[in-house]
Copies of this chain bind each other. A is one copy, B any other.
């Protein structure tokens, strides 16, 4: 595929859609895919995706490093995943009950994810984190949940980063700790006292914006486990964003720490709407005793897609491959930043890279750089981590770096 390397600034179709949307969608757009605060070079509306490439509604093509904020892991319209989905779709999706795919997918997750003895399904990442918290409370008969102070675990009333529209009561059983800070975790557990139901934690700190990512210290991970055990509380791992990118299994396996529940969504079905909670046998009864359901939680097509997608991810060491191409990108960006006199910090795993400009009030350099990259057909994000996929080739990275070199130069010219 050839890519037009011209600067992409003409977006009349996108502009027209934004104008129409302003009349029928609150704020014109909402949520994490709203580009209002991003540079003008970002499209709001997309026409299509193919592998690691996206095309906007005006026909501009991009090498994409956002992967739909995570769902795409095996390439847009991956033929193996789409063939499996199409096969199920020809029979039906939401039927009178689940299909055989639900049992197959539960078996596959149990086989793939070390700590998992069972699986339940939903549609949103928030479904998975909410289910996990509900199971933890049902199993323990306790109320308090410890979470990272600025960690994102979904948009429900307990965890929404914006409290507007929730009540103080909704959030009264949440106690904060700081990631990798064992003392703060101990203090939070002490505050919960004998009412500690669970600890929810991400495999690494990816809170953003403008907050460097941090990998988990092994001592911290072990303390999370020990504090949960000491308090007969449930350790919930939120892998909604990280799932199957860090490890084809449970992310803390390399640290020797196993959670009790893991929440997945985003990438498990390569873009088809699906979430899953997997858990240990000791929590199966509580998981079965709560009332958890949704109209589309049993639908077969997304499950068929997930089975094919996880099958692909198991075929080779896909986390190592994504780390490889992510490292190529990161290494290239580091050199380009230095060439243009920018001091940057790149943090977190290379499969989910985050780039921050040092001394960057108002994110001016980040906005200038990512805006210039978008105008040259490379989708990055100024204040959110990016994502690699198995569809990113070494050539994609090289093509992207050709353009980001110019983007850094333009950012330097803008920033002065």
Q: Are B69 and A27 in contact (CB under 8 A)?
A: no
Which chain B positions have C-beta within 8 A of A161?
291
Most buried by B among A32, A46, A117: A46
Q: Is A389 an interface residue (CB 8 A)?
A: no
**Quick one: CB contact mask for A272-299 with B, threshold 8 Å, 1 for yes?**
1100000100001111111111111111
Q: Are B97 and A35 in contact (CB under 8 A)?
A: yes
Q: Is A362 an interface residue (CB 8 A)?
A: no
Query: Which of A168-176, A309-317, A344-352, A404-412 is near enough to bind chain B?
Result: A168-176
**Quick one: CB contact mask for A122-138 with B, threshold 8 Å, 1 for yes?**
11111100100111111
Q: Are A103 and B165 in contact (CB under 8 A)?
A: no
Partner of A46, one of B92, B172, B240, B286: B92
- In angstroms, how far is the closest chain B Cβ from the Cβ of A400? 15
Closest to A54 in B: B96
Partner of A120, one of B30, B66, B165, B279: B30
Most buried by B among A97, A99, A119: A97
Q: Is A37 an interface residue (CB 8 A)?
A: no
Which chain B positions have C-beta within 8 A of A297?
31, 124
Q: Are A97 and B290 in contact (CB under 8 A)?
A: no
Partner of A17, one of B24, B100, B137: B100
Q: Is A354 an interface residue (CB 8 A)?
A: no
When chains A and B are docked, how far (Å) is the Cα of A68 from the Cα of B293?
13
When chains A and B are docked, how far (Å) is the Cα of A71 from the Cα of B50?
30
When chains A and B are docked, how far (Å) is the Cα of A300 from the Cα of B47?
9
Known: A69-B295, A71-B94, A295-B71. A173 touches B167 (CB 8 A): yes
Known: A24-B107, A265-B295, A291-B31. A95 touches B124 (CB 8 A): no
**Quick one: CB contact mask for A72-107 with B, threshold 8 Å, 1 for yes?**
100011000010000001111111111110110011
Which chain B positions have C-beta within 8 A of A29?
98
**Quick one: CB contact mask for A26-66 with B, threshold 8 Å, 1 for yes?**
11011111010000000111111110001001000010101
**Quick one: CB contact mask for A141-164 with B, threshold 8 Å, 1 for yes?**
001000000000001111011101
Known: A70-B295, A120-B25, A295-B124. A64 touches B96 (CB 8 A): yes
Which chain B positions have C-beta within 8 A of A205?
none
Which chain B positions have C-beta within 8 A of A356?
none
Q: Are A96 and B137 in contact (CB under 8 A)?
A: no
Most buried by B among A43, A72, A292: A292
Which chain B positions have C-beta within 8 A of A372?
none
Q: Is A21 an interface residue (CB 8 A)?
A: yes
Closest to A162 in B: B291
When chains A and B are docked, how far (Å) is the Cα of A296 from the Cα of B271?
8
Q: Are A30 and B293 in contact (CB under 8 A)?
A: yes
Q: Is A266 an interface residue (CB 8 A)?
A: yes
When chains A and B are docked, how far (Å) is the Cα of A119 from the Cα of B28?
10
Which chain B positions have C-beta within 8 A of A70?
295
Q: Are B30 and A292 in contact (CB under 8 A)?
A: yes
Q: Is A216 an interface residue (CB 8 A)?
A: no
Q: Is A379 an interface residue (CB 8 A)?
A: yes
Q: Are B97 and A43 in contact (CB under 8 A)?
A: yes
Q: Are A26 and B287 in contact (CB under 8 A)?
A: yes
Q: Is A179 an interface residue (CB 8 A)?
A: no
Which chain B positions have C-beta within 8 A of A124?
122-124, 127, 294-297
- In angstroms, how far is the closest chain B Cβ from the Cβ of A32? 5
**26 interchain pairs, CB-CB under 8 A:** A17-B103, A21-B106, A24-B107, A24-B117, A25-B103, A25-B118, A26-B288, A30-B287, A31-B294, A33-B293, A45-B98, A46-B95, A50-B92, A64-B96, A68-B95, A71-B94, A76-B95, A123-B124, A124-B294, A157-B158, A165-B290, A167-B173, A266-B295, A271-B296, A273-B296, A273-B302
Closest 7 CB pairs of A and B: A31-B293, A27-B288, A134-B165, A138-B165, A162-B291, A273-B296, A26-B287
